Amino acid sequence: MATPLTSAPFASGVVVYCRAGFESEAAQELDAIAAQAGVAGFARTERNAGFAEFVLTQEGAPDALQRLLGWSRLTFARQSLAVIGQFKALPREDRLSPLLAALPADFRVGDVWVETPDSDAAKPLTAFCRSFNNAFVQQLRRSHQLDAASPWRLHALFPTGERCLLGLTLVDHAAPWPQGIPRLKFPRDAPSRSTLKLDEALQVLLNAGERERWFKPGMTAVDLGAAPGGWTWQLVRRGLQVTAVDNGPMNEALMASGLVAHKREDGFRYQPRQRVDWMVCDMVEQPRRVAERMAAWLAAGWCLRSVFNLKLPMKKRYAEVQQAFATMRAEVNAAGRELEIRAKQLYHDREEITVFAQTR
Ligand SMILES: C[S@@+](CC[C@H](N)C(=O)[O-])C[C@H]1O[C@@H](n2cnc3c(N)ncnc32)[C@H](O)[C@@H]1O
């Protein structure tokens, strides 16, 4: 990493954006990482706020900050910022000056994003954010603090009109979408809205090089629980040959592509004749059962890579996810393979997370 995150001025902690209602899971994840790194601090949440905080109580905790900011490794975080200022009651007549004063005069940023959490309470602030963002950019330009070459981006998160958390991200290590939400357009001829989930998963869980290398025409995939075919559609669009396993009917236009073989079989029993490049699974089932089946595929080497959903239980959601991953790792390790897992609660996920897994 060229620029250490720790050169963020005065960072007092971390704030992560999350789906409203999942603040506690986001906080538990931050707590767990801090505990692993031996960092003193505490997580702080408010119900349905759409974000969670980790406050560092230890001076000069550079490694901690670095780890907590690893957006791509956090399951429940859509974005993570190093907090450099907290404002509880900004004056309506001039909200900008206090924020500018929190940024050292010689510190430059490539851009500034004025955002709200993805919460009901913050929805009416969208128009304000847009105009305030313009004013912020102009002011930074005037003070010569806007520099396209800077690796930093400034974020002003407004949970209410008066309250703001000011933070920094390193552009190359942060979610590249405002609010951490990729705005994807629903493709008109896709068979179901679920299609957006796999599309988002590939944008969020893979980098550009991986998307290029791992999806080439002629590659093969199995889609477990495929009907009516939104996920299969994404694979076909990338030129893959797909075996769609589901008792339900598949979209006719998709079948006419000639790239899909439909098998009316039980997705928990289906086995491919030959190894496939991808196995994807969107069967609505208990997370443990899905995780066990995914582990069986990866341990046996029936697929190289996989993307699947894990529905979250009503209680102990964080612990349940950790348990599922531990079980998968144990099974794959027992088969003499290493398992890599990347997981995210996507914007298009509700009571679930989406997981990318591959063996090495
Ligand atoms: C959420 S839908 C999948 C939507 C699909 N990914 C799409 O994008 O259109 C879940 C599907 O899983 C299928 N399913 C559930 N249990 C299954 C099983 N044991 N074997 C095969 N399919 C199953 C259901 O029939 C249903 O079509």
Residues 340 and 308 in one domain: yes
Q: Tell me, what's the pLDDT at 62?
A: 60
Residue 164 sits in the same domain as residue 302: no
CA of 251 to the centre of ligand 1 (A): 13
Measured distance CA(30)–CA(52) in Å, rounded: 9
Same domain, 148 and 253: no
Does the pLDDT value for residue 161 go beyond 80? Answer: yes
Does residue 35 share a domain with residue 91? yes
- Distance between CA atoms of residues 286 and 218, nearest Å: 33
**Neighbouring residues of 320: CB distance < 8 A, sequence distance ≥ 6:** 287, 288, 312, 313
Q: Which domain holds residue 284?
A: 195-359
Model pLDDT, residue 9:
56
From the CA atom positions of the chain, what is the Rg in Å?
Answer: 22
Contact by Cβ (8 Å): 15, 157: yes
Residue 190 is assigned to a structural domain of this protein: no
Evaluate if residue 40 carries a pLDDT over 90: no
| Ligand 1 atom with the shortest distance to the CA of 197 | 8
Q: Give distance in angstroms: CA of 87 to centre of ligand 1.
A: 47
Q: How far apart are CA 20 and CA 17, in angstroms?
A: 9
Q: Are residues 282 and 319 in the same domain?
A: yes
Residue 120 in tokens: 């009901």
- ∠ CA 278-281-287 to the nearest 5 degrees? 130
Q: Kindly state the average pLDDT of the residues 196-213.
A: 97
pLDDT score, position 2: 40
Contact 287 CB / ligand 1 (< 6 Å): no
Report the range of poorest mean pLDDT among 57-66, 159-168, 195-204, 212-221: 57-66
Task: State pLDDT tens for residues 266-307.
Answer: 999 999 999 999 999 999 999 999 999 999 999 999 999 999
* pLDDT tops 80 at residue 22: yes
**The one catalytic residue among 88, 185, 311, 315:** 311
Structure confidence at residue 64 as a pLDDT band (50, 70, 90): low
Distance 283 CA to ligand 1 centre (A): 5
The Cα angle at residue 320 between residues 205 and 119, in degrees rounded to 5: 60
CB 279 within 8 A of CB 297: yes
Residue with tokens 């199995």: 222
Kindly state whether residues 271 and 166 are assigned to the same domain.
no
pLDDT, residue 63, reads 61
What is the distance between the alpha carbons of residues 71 and 16, in angstroms, rounded to a whole number? 8
Residue of 71, 64, 63, 100 whose CA lies nearest to 85: 100
- DSSP code, position 196: H
- Lateral strand order in the sheet of 276-281: 260-263, 241-245, 220-224, 276-281, 303-311, 352-359, 339-344
Q: Is residue 188 part of a domain?
A: no
In a domain, 291, yes or no: yes
| C-beta separation of 41 from 64 below 8 A | yes
Pocket test for ligand 1, best of 284, 289, 297 (most atoms within 8 A of CB): 284
Do 238 and 114 share a structural domain? no
Q: What pLDDT does residue 71 have?
A: 84
Paired residues of 44 in beta bridges? 53
Whole-number pLDDT of residue 6: 47
Task: Confirm whether 223 is domain-assigned.
Answer: yes
Lowest-pLDDT range of 3-12, 64-73, 91-100, 248-257: 3-12
> Same domain for 157 and 42?
yes
Q: Percent of the chain having pLDDT more than 70?
A: 94
Domain count, the chain: 2
Q: Which two tokens stand for residue 266?
A: 């039980």
Is residue 187 in a domain? no
Q: What is the pTM of this model?
A: 0.95
Mean pLDDT for the chain?
93
